[in-house]
Structure 1
Amino acid sequence: MRTVLWFTLALAAFCLVTGLRADLVTIGAGAFGMSLWLTLLNGVYATIVQVKVPQRFHERVFALNTLIAWSTLPLGFGLVAPYGRPSSTP
């Protein structure tokens, strides 16, 4: 469990790096770090599920996780859209 928390902290740090400056190198480094740590975090999660959950329930657990994760996408799109457009005042 500590590994999940450390990997999440590293992921958050690279999210912060991505938003620091509007510089291509900074954004690229942050995006690379986010992709790296998210991949490692998903690998640890999959390992935990495969070890702790009986094999006959793996499909259901992964399906439920995917359902919950994807159900948040419309909420994210709804929140980002108003803030993503440029303001009309100069």
Structure 2
Amino acid sequence: TTEVIVYSKKVAKILPASSEMVEGTECSFSGWGITERSTGPSNNLIYKNGKTLDSDTCKVWLSEMHDYEFCFESLEKDGLTIDK
């Protein structure tokens, strides 16, 4: 964006992770990622609670994974796994 971001009580900077993710860590995730049922990134913001998976497992479900991406298994009963 070319606009200056104005931080406030409702808009805050998200700092990068201070350590690598560990497989099996339970977290809350949000993003426009890809699921094993999709053909491309979501048009809608997705929010889920889940646990991180190792990259080998991710690559079986998702056709393309980059080293900087991760995936997780939803703890909710919808069975979706989201990356990026």
Q: Same fold (TM over 0.5)?
A: no
TM-score by length of 2: 0.22
* Structure with the bigger percentage of strand: 2
Return the index of the structure with the highest Cα Rg: 1
Larger RCO, structure (CA 8 Å, separation 6 or more): 2
Whichever structure has more helix as a proportion of its residues is 1
